[in-house]
Structure formats: C-alpha cells, structure tokens
Amino acid sequence: MSTELPDVATLLDSLATSLNAEFERRDIGSPILVGIHTGGVWVAEALHERLAARSPVATLEVAFHRDDHATSGLKASVQSSDVPISLDGRTVVLIDDVIQTGRTIRAALNALFDYGRPGRVLLAVLADRGGRELPIQPDALGEQLELPTVQRIKLRGPHPLHFTVEEDAP
C-alpha cells in the first residue's frame, strides 16, 4: 500500500504562514527557533529563512532526555545540542519534522529547560501523523497526515528535503 507523500517545500510554506499568524495573534516579536535533531534542525533552518528570523537557529539533542533508554537504548548517532544564546525570558519555537506520540517533544521540553527559563514555548511541526500518547499539540502545523499505523514517515535530507515512508515488519 502506498501513500501519496506531501511535498516538503509546500509544507514548509504552510508552516511558515501558520507560525506567522500565531506570532501576530500573540504579539511575538523576535522568537528563537530551536530545531530538534536531526529532522527538526533542517525544518528550523528552512523556517529561519522563510521567517527572516534574527536570532541564530539553536539545536537540541533529546536522546539523553528520552523515556525509552532502558528498552530501546541510545541511538547510534547522537548529535550535540547547540544553544548559542540565552533563552531566559525569550519566546522559543520548538521545531520538529513529525509528531506522533509526543514523547520526543516531552523530552525536548525537559532538555530545553536545562538551558534556562524561556518566557514562552511554542511548538511548530511539519507533519502531524496522529497517535498521541501525551497531551501535547502543535501551535503551528504544516499538515495533518492520515497514515496506517504500521507506516512510519521520516524526513530525509538535508538536500533535498523529502519524506520517506517505511513499513514496520509485521
């Protein structure tokens, strides 16, 4: 069974529009974009361009804050977080490629607060494929996807950014 995969550039445009509307509605001036490794960093960099954001993109590795270390282990390629500016009092936009259970975002929120106390945190996600296990919802979204539960969607990149779908072994 094949699924029509969304075009990443189109989703990025729609996410940028949605995020801009949110900034306007909540009167947000100069947000800090924080991408979650690895896909979220690519999305954050693309958004940084589209939003003409001033602060540099910060990156977050959430592997050390995950709740499934005991069962799944540490992933093979752990990246380094890079938060070059103070988050204290600032509006932070946490950015990821795909949201499903919400556990990555839970881990990211914990990791984020190790760097200070943001004034406000928003969540921007390129694709929401449903299946939440935690009460976490994006503030800005590229697109809602309907995928069979056995399929995993993943953003590949960085050049060009594109989605792939893999099927879980039965």
Q: Which residues bind another protein (CB under 8 A)?
A: 61, 63-66, 68-82, 96-101, 103-104, 110-111, 114-116, 131, 152, 154, 166
Residue 30 or 164 with smaller CB distance to another protein? 164
CA distance linking residue 132 with residue 6, whole number of Å:
21
**CB of residue 102 to another protein, shortest distance in Å:** 8
Place of tokens 């990555």: 104
Residue 53 or 115 with smaller CB distance to another protein? 115
**CB of residue 163 to another protein, shortest distance in Å:** 13
**CB of residue 125 to another protein, shortest distance in Å:** 9
What's the burial of 146, exposed, middle or buried (CB within 10 Å: 0-12/13-18/19+)?
exposed
Across 109-145, b (16+ Cβ under 10 Å) vs e yields: bebbeebeebeebbbbbbbbbeeeeeebebbbbbbeb
Q: Where are the beta strands (DSSP E) in 47-135?
A: 58-60, 91-99, 120-128
**CB of residue 104 to another protein, shortest distance in Å:** 4
Encoded amino acid at 9, one letter: A
**CB of residue 1 to another protein, shortest distance in Å:** 19
Residue 96 or 118 with smaller CB distance to another protein? 96
CB 119 within 8 Å of CB 90: yes
Residue 1 or 76 with smaller CB distance to another protein? 76
What separation in angstroms does the CA of 41 have from each of 23, 48, 63, 71?
20, 10, 14, 26
Residue 49 or 64 with smaller CB distance to another protein? 64
